[in-house]
């Protein structure tokens, strides 16, 4: 088996931000990977490391305040072009309940109707227990037959001696082995890319 090589990023371009299904970009010729997680899970850092681009980080002053799905066109040297859909963070306490409900409806419609969506990169904070809200989201993805790539972020914040127990607890809660990731120490980049490429190739026409 040949050694896996992480693709080199050729270009990342911002397409648009959308707040309604009717305003989603029409990119049927490219597969799409959505990135989701609770607010403050470290999504911005992960996107910067994976795609070597600060363009992908569109963060408002208050975490979780943005309501947009931000779409980016990614070109690499060794994979098909694809789209990254950066979903708004969820679960942030300072956001009004009605706004959270609007997010839920919009995100649900996006996930249910986006035919080119081939997987959701779902992030979990290594320092936090998996919440009921996250379990419900995972169960819903399963019902929709949307593949999930689970990633544990901020693993450098926990002593290595605790990694085994923490990762097993999260694996048990979500029903799938997660990728361990640290933006600071660049842990897990190859494993995430391997999963992304596998999903992109599985959905090539």
Lowest mean pLDDT of 77-91, 162-176, 180-194, name the range. 77-91
Residue 116 DSSP symbol: T
Looking at residue 3, its pLDDT comes to 80
- Identify whether the C-beta of residue 20 lies closer than 8 Å to the C-beta of residue 162: no
Residue 32's Cβ-count burial label (10 Å; 0-12, 13-18, 19+) is buried
pLDDT, position 66: 62
Give yes or no for residue 133 having a pLDDT over 70.
yes
Band the pLDDT of 172: cuts 50, 70, 90.
very high
Closest CA relative to residue 148, chosen from 130, 165, 161, 166: 130
Contacts of 136 (CB under 8 A, 6+ apart): none
d(CA 189, CA 183): 9
The listed range with the strongest mean pLDDT (21-25, 52-56, 59-63) is 21-25
When pLDDT is cut at 50, 70 and 90, the band that residue 106 belongs to is confident
What would the mean pLDDT of 119-136 be, rounded to a whole number?
91
Residue 12, helix vs strand vs coil: strand
* Beta-carbon count within 10 A of 34 CB: 23
The answer to pTM > 0.85 is yes
Task: Let me know: does 78 contact 5? Beta carbons within 8 Å.
Answer: yes
């Amino acid at each position: 088996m040949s050694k896996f090589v992480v693709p080199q990023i050729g270009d990342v371009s911002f397409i648009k931000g959308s707040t309604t299904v009717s305003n989603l970009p029409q990119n049927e010729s490219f597969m799409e990977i959505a990135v989701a997680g609770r607010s403050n899970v470290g999504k911005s850092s992960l996107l910067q490391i994976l795609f070597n681009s600060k363009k992908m980080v569109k963060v408002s002053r208050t975490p979780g305040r943005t309501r947009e799905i931000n779409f980016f066109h990614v070109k690499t040297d060794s994979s098909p072009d694809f789209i990254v859909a950066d979903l708004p963070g969820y679960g942030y306490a300072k956001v009004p309940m009605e706004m959270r409900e609007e997010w839920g409806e919009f995100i649900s419609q996006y996930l249910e109707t986006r035919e080119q969506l081939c997987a959701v990169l779902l992030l979990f904070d290594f320092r936090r227990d998996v919440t009921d809200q996250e379990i419900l989201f995972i169960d819903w993805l399963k019902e929709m037959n949307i593949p999930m790539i689970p990633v544990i972020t901020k693993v450098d914040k926990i002593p290595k001696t605790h990694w085994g127990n923490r990762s097993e607890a999260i694996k048990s809660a979500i029903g799938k082995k997660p990728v361990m990731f640290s933006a600071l120490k660049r842990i897990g980049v190859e494993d995430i890319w391997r999963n992304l490429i596998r999903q992109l190739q599985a959905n090539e026409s």
